[in-house]
Amino acid sequence: MTVRSQDQEENSGNLAVTGRNERLVREYFKAVWNEGDLYVFDTDLVSGEYVLHAQSNDQYTVEELRNVWSDWHRTFPDLSNEIRDLITTDDRVVVRYRFSGTHEAEIMGIPQTGKTIETAGIVILRLKDGQIAETYAMDDVLGLRQQLGENS
């Protein structure tokens, strides 16, 4: 017979929650960020109230993100977002990632260059009731623009 203290019970519950949160975010990253599977937005993985906050202070709803992600996957058909670090808590997951892809269509007013680019970013995802409810994104947009040949 194993006897557990209240602290051990709480830590065990926290580990289950953080493990679940990690699995949810990895699944979301794989589907949306890498495979362009935007149907994930129609599943229980993502809250119906989901919103993404960009560093530009723009906010994107699920419907707006469908267009944004479609554009990114069209522009960078070999798009890859590799998770480099992942930190979980009971209601947050922080991901540091490396973005790479070949620029095959216009984006941000920059015409196709055919260049292979690589940048990095960090996102903080808030989870509620086992769903991704909110994301805060910090991306190296300046580095991306510079690699695509914009001189600003």
88 belongs to a structural domain: yes
* Cα 80 to Cα 35: distance, rounded to the nearest angstrom: 8
Q: Identify the pLDDT of residue 15.
A: 74
* Cα 141 to Cα 100: distance, rounded to the nearest angstrom: 13
Sorted by sequence, the CB contacts under 8 Å of residue 1 that are 6+ apart come out as none
Supply the CATH number for residue 117's domain: 3.10.450.50
Sorted by sequence, the CB contacts under 8 Å of residue 3 that are 6+ apart come out as none
Q: Identify the pLDDT of residue 152.
A: 56
Mean pLDDT for the chain? 89
25 belongs to a structural domain: yes
Please tell me the pTM assigned to this model: 0.85
Q: Which domain, by its residues, includes 131?
A: 6-147
Work out how many domains the chain is built from and give that number. 1
Segment 88-97, tens digit of pLDDT: 999 999 999 9
1 belongs to a structural domain: no
Sorted by sequence, the CB contacts under 8 Å of residue 54 that are 6+ apart come out as 60, 137, 139
Segment 29-50, tens digit of pLDDT: 999 999 999 888 898 999 989 9
Asked if residue 148 lies in contact with residue 117, where contact means CB atoms within 8 angstroms, the answer is yes
